[in-house]
Amino acid sequence: MSDGNEQDEDPIFAKQVLGQVEGLEVRIMDMSGANGSEPVEVVRGFGTIAHANAFARRYVRDSVDICRASGMDAKAVMEAWGMFGEDAEVVGAGDDAWCSATELADFAARRATDREERNWRIIDPRRDADDEEAEEEE
């Protein structure tokens, strides 16, 4: 992520933002209930709470917008997300964990206008691991 110059580092990855925390993970939950109470996926490798929170927020934002069809009002979007969407839970951050319930109504009411709001892939810690493996193979 960084070439060693901490001034250029994105704030969500900076250790000074809510500190470095071990054991952070984001659990991806299937809203349809097909997986029961078990997560569909558990994403690990977050160094800061801000990073885990940003990933979870973007993931849910993307899921809500994927469930949105043209002409749907906020209630219909919420219903579709509740049947077909995915939620993200930040674990290991205590009271500092982002919670989708605080922003779901806003997400349903308005489509994301900035692509970055939905781009969870760019901050996915698994991407960093894949990049490191590719560098080692070269």
What the block records as the tokens of 107 is 């997400």
Residues 91 and 49: their CA atoms lie apart, in Å, by: 9
Q: Are 63 and 117 in contact (CB under 8 A)?
A: no
pLDDT given for residue 3 in this prediction: 47
E runs forming strands in 8-60 = 25-30, 41-44
Q: Report pLDDT digits (tens) over 19-56.
A: 567 889 999 999 998 888 899 999 999 989 999 999 99
Average pLDDT, the chain: 86
pLDDT given for residue 9 in this prediction: 60
Question: What's the predicted TM-score (pTM) here?
Answer: 0.80
